[in-house]
A and B are shown apart, each in its own frame.
Chain A
Amino acid sequence: MEDESREIKLTDDEQELLNELLDDSAKLSETGESRRQFLRNVSAASAAILATQMLAEQKITAYTPTENVSGASYAIENGVKVVMKVNGAEKSLNVDSRMTLLDALRERLELTGSKKGCDHGQCGACTVIIEGRRVLSCLTLAATCEGKEVTTIEGLAKGDALHPMQAAFIKHDGFQCGYCTPGQICSAVALLSEAKNGEASYVTADVRTKARAVQLSDEEIRERMSGNICRCGAYPNIVAAIKEVHTGKDVAQTWQFAGETGVAIFENAEMNKEGA
């Protein structure tokens, strides 16, 4: 509990706000309404708001979930117990048989990095890595993940050190809105090991010769990343980021923050004229 007798120190901004408020109430009293009446009105309004809220809460808590409940505040039908490892930590859940891995991650484990884009396996925003393989968490039932090792975007960095793919996406500006990015990065991380294993793609020149590890051209990267849609169209930058991590060679950054000369143009009076 706060110590009510403690003197409250206001910041300058807060003091200014308070003065304005007192000023307003003074004006009110000038128009015939006493300051006391004003405060009474304010209290009544607050009580009304509070009462509405309490009524709403009562209504919510009056809802009784059906029998299959696991302490959660919503109903679970056909509950399935599942224990999986998520980003290295063991997680035990009782899930509705219908719950997808994506919803389990986001709604139950508070890992909201993986995104729900289309929820039908067409966009790749929900891509996570299970047992080293990239998969779609929106088309994976949580119930089927018993004993599985799941890695999400939250599990890629080591403390404050970003995964090289995360760092490369920043360097190359591999996103605009960022919604597809966690899926893009998980997908790209798995792609690296697929290339290392010599796996082929539809654009691989000759699938019969199995190289130990494949060097991916831009065309190969594009084909292998085709399951991840980016509505902002950051594809060239995504390819550059993946290429840099895949080859281990620096790929030139194609953008930079505007320098003094770059900014100067906007200070041109002619250009800033109305209608210019």
Chain B
Amino acid sequence: MRPFKYTKVNDAANAVQAVAANANSKFLAGGTNILDLMKEDVERPDVLVDITQLNLTQIKTVSEGVNKGGVSIGGLGKNTDAANHPLIRQNFPLLTQAILAGASAQIRNMATNGGNLNQRTRCSYFYDVAMPCNKREPGTGCGALEGVNRMHAVFGWSNDCVAVHPSDMCVALVALDAVVKVQGTDGAERRIPFIDYHRLPGNTPQKDNNLNQGELITAIEIPKNNYADKSYYLKVRDRASYAFALVSVAAALEINGNKIKQARVAMGGVAHKPWRATEAEKFLTGKEATEANFKQAAEMEMKQAKQLEYNKFKVELGKRAIVRALMQAMNGGKV
């Protein structure tokens, strides 16, 4: 690992200033991803600003604003605490399941909620500094485009990058219309709708998200909803546990009588950002919650998929995963 200066800050304003002042400095929260990347020589910061002492760990009901009655999750709270908080388990079980589907107990005990959003792709070409990668080193090309791309994207990729976002938590957050609250250098709060937080690669794959240098995630808000009775997070992976998703699906339904009033479907492991399955959602709205309708919704969503040489299986797997997740959601999200 290359040498770096370690500093500790005690308030958010100082943290933002410290990182904004130096383009080659980074926040250090849980450290589970950045330390790994530093050991691999992928990340090479001069300065790490330890923000773990900041008081941004609270989980509470939102008391005012557009998301009143929803929940606010502190950016520096641990994944384990978010997953197990009574407010989340009771009202947003989809988020609990998604968080618990990711990583291991040890890592969830370390990783923060804000850090989860900012974790980087696990694309093996990104991790291997001997390989070309436009995300790591713009202009060097994409090793995965015509390489070993079994784990890669089927939606929204470009010739510059076919990597996927690795988070499970974020798939639930995009489905639940979350909002990311960030603090910038002017001290003002900026609110970013979750769907606009992460980016598609385009020709700037080095930018994973729309956060500016120095901006700090203070909280994530989820608006109140009626999905708690019928939601499920399904993760399909190579191992039974502790592996990144081949395909994952966050499904949530609000049922009125025998009709679907609102549907939320999002996918992981398929795109450079947590993928909101808007085609499936549009189709399902107003329809009956039957397996046949779920199948048709899945067909419509996966119609836009563009497969690569080794990830063709993700198209059919994606369809089946959407159907199964919706069926499980109808079953009350029980495993």
- Size range of the interface on A? 35 or more
Identify which of B100-108, B269-277, B286-294 touches chain A: B100-108
| Residues of B with C-beta under 8 A to A222 | 240-241
1/0 per residue, CB under 8 A from B, across A203-237: the answer is 11111101000000000001110111000000000
| Residues of B with C-beta under 8 A to A228 | 104
| Nearest-Cβ distance from residue B152 to partner chain A, whole angstroms | 20
- Size range of the interface on B? 35 or more
Is B52 touching A144 in the complex (CB atoms < 8 A)? yes
Is A120 touching B39 in the complex (CB atoms < 8 A)? yes
| Nearest-Cβ distance from residue B73 to partner chain A, whole angstroms | 16
Identify which of B84-92, B134-142, B177-185, B202-210 touches chain A: B84-92
1/0 per residue, CB under 8 A from A, across B3-31: the answer is 11110100000000000000000001001
Q: A43 on the interface (CB 8 Å rule)?
A: no
Looking at A80, A127, A190, A199, the one whose CB has the most chain B CB atoms below 10 A away is: A199
Is B39 touching A140 in the complex (CB atoms < 8 A)? no
Which residues 239-262 of A sit at the B interface, judged by CB distance below 8 A? none
| Residues of A with C-beta under 8 A to B77 | none
| Residues of A with C-beta under 8 A to B107 | 121, 136, 139, 227
| Residues of B with C-beta under 8 A to A78 | 3-6
Q: CA of A96 to CA of B84 in the docked complex: distance in angstroms? A: 35
| Nearest-Cβ distance from residue B168 to partner chain A, whole angstroms | 9
Q: CA of A207 to CA of B96 in the docked complex: distance in angstroms? A: 7
| Residues of B with C-beta under 8 A to A210 | 86, 89-90
| Nearest-Cβ distance from residue A99 to partner chain B, whole angstroms | 9
| Residues of A with C-beta under 8 A to B41 | none
Q: CA of A201 to CA of B102 in the docked complex: distance in angstroms? A: 10
Is B6 touching A141 in the complex (CB atoms < 8 A)? yes
Among A100, A187, A197, the residue within 8 A (CB) of B35 is A100
Name 27 A/B residue pairs within 8 A (Cβ), A-sorted. A78-B6, A97-B3, A97-B4, A97-B48, A98-B1, A120-B36, A134-B109, A135-B110, A139-B35, A141-B28, A143-B6, A144-B52, A146-B8, A187-B105, A187-B106, A190-B105, A200-B83, A200-B96, A200-B100, A201-B100, A207-B96, A207-B333, A208-B90, A208-B333, A224-B105, A226-B239, A227-B104
Interface set of B (CB-CB < 8 Å, partner A): 1, 3-6, 8, 28, 31-32, 35-36, 39-40, 48, 50, 52, 80, 83-84, 86, 89-90, 93, 96-97, 100-101, 103-107, 109-110, 228, 235, 239-242, 332-335
Interface set of A (CB-CB < 8 Å, partner B): 77-78, 80, 96-98, 100, 119-121, 124, 127, 133-136, 139-141, 143-144, 146, 187, 190-191, 194, 197-208, 210, 222-224, 226-228
